[in-house]
A = this chain, B = another copy of it.
Amino acid sequence: MAEDGTATKRAMMGQAMTGQAAAGLGKPVASGGTLLHGGDLDGARAAFPGAPAPWIDLSTGINPWPYPLPPVPLDAWTRLPGRGEEEALRAAAASCYGAPSSGLVATASGSQAFIQLLPRLCRPGRVAVLGPTYAEHARCWALAGHEVRAVERPEEAGVLVIVNPNNPDGRRFAPGEMLELAGAQAARGGLLVVDEAFADMRPEDSVAPAAGRPGLVVLRSFGKFFGLAGLRLGIALAPAALAAALREAIGPWAVSGPGLVIATAALGDRDWILATRDRLARASAELDRLLEGAGLRVTGGTELFRLVEDARAPSLYRALGSAGILVRRFEHRPDWLRFGLPGPDEAWQRLGVALDDWATRETQPT
């Protein structure tokens, strides 16, 4: 947005609007290397008008086998959610993630809400985001007036943000290393924000059981592992006072009544969670076999997505698009493509055929 836009905003909002808020609006957005959100099927349809329908969307990292929806009583829609129901969700989240108590838990309509909120609760300062990663962290800290740097390894800053395991490359830090970092951050009055959006598949890598330690904020995403991204539920785990501050800033009733019913059941369904970890591990191994069968190298990822690194990625992206299959590109890494898991058998088959066709064309002399 141009300077003019910012000036107009300032005038329209009047002096009541803070300079920081108004200025943040006009700022160029810091890029973490992954500017495009997944799931832009409308854009894909426009770019590949001849592609066969239905489109197969592999551009997100959402479990294609969602938690089966339990019955939702009508009054979950009609009433305001009760305090007891909100507390039950926090307790289920603490238990599922191995956190010591529900008092360390805050919930919001998506982890995005916490990514938006944390920067506004912290005094503007230096923020380091371990990159390249999911762009929303850097974008939101920059918008709130912080000085944001993408760093290649953890380093001192007022706030250090690490996505673990990382999206899109799957880079992992051991919990011990993260807790050391959290301790060092706390010692100098800072925060370590660990985004564990993709940690559900390997709970042994999570620092959620250490929630409550000074300086440590853990963000969890309900929608990805449970395959219910439209439900909108994000969870933050933090020292009790900070968790209370987050609950206070988010306010009551942020999660819908049906969302509370469904998520409380899902987070407490140990059998489904264990079976789903197995299923996703098998599916991601199968996806690797398909990709490697087409001569591609899988260089990272999690059980919900795989990252391919190949100089021919642009050609592969187009070939898949023409076959009605959308995968994730990265503006600053044209050699990367990220593949989510296909769900139905037919999607696996169409992906296999499209990869084979592309590989065959690529290896034939022109």
**Chain A contact residues, CB within 8 Å of chain B:** 5, 8-9, 11-19, 21-22, 25, 37-42, 57, 60, 62, 66, 69, 74-84, 109-110, 112-113, 115-116, 120-123, 125, 140, 143, 158-159, 185-186, 188-191, 214-215, 223, 227-232, 239-242, 244-245, 248-259, 262
Contact = CB atoms under 8 A, between A and B. Distances in A.
Nearest to A80: B229
8 contacts: A14-B185, A14-B189, A15-B123, A37-B252, A66-B74, A112-B252, A112-B254, A231-B258
Given A12-B240, A232-B256, 12 more contacts: A12-B242, A13-B245, A16-B158, A21-B121, A42-B82, A66-B78, A77-B228, A79-B230, A110-B253, A230-B258, A256-B258, A258-B258
Contacts of A84: 42
Contacts of A74: 66, 69
A203 to B, nearest CB: 23
Contacts of A21: 121-122, 245, 249
A9 B40 CA distance: 41
A123 B214 contact: no
Contacts of A228: 77-78
B159 A16 contact: yes
Contacts of A38: 80
A191 B12 contact: no
B158 A241 contact: no
B249 A17 contact: no
A343 to B, nearest CB: 9
A80 B16 contact: no
Given A16-B190, A79-B62, A257 B230 contact: yes
For the complex formed by this chain, how many copies does it contain in all?
2
A199 B77 CA distance: 21
A315 to B, nearest CB: 28
Contacts of A62: 78-80
A278 B285 CA distance: 60
B113 A254 contact: yes
Nearest to A228: B77
A162 B318 CA distance: 55
Given A42-B82, A78-B228, A112-B251, A245 B215 contact: no
Contact of A249 (B116, B244, B259): B116
Given A77-B69, A115-B251, A15 B190 contact: yes
Given A16-B190, A21-B245, A78 B8 contact: no
Contacts of A251: 110, 112-113, 115-116, 140
A242 B277 CA distance: 44
A230 B80 contact: yes
A262 B230 CA distance: 13
B122 A186 contact: no
Given A16-B125, A123-B16, A232 B254 contact: yes
A232 B19 CA distance: 30
Contact of A13 (B13, B112, B241, B262): B241
Nearest to A14: B189
- Pairs A-B, 10 closest by C-beta atoms: A230-B257, A15-B189, A14-B189, A9-B241, A109-B109, A116-B251, A18-B123, A232-B256, A16-B122, A12-B239
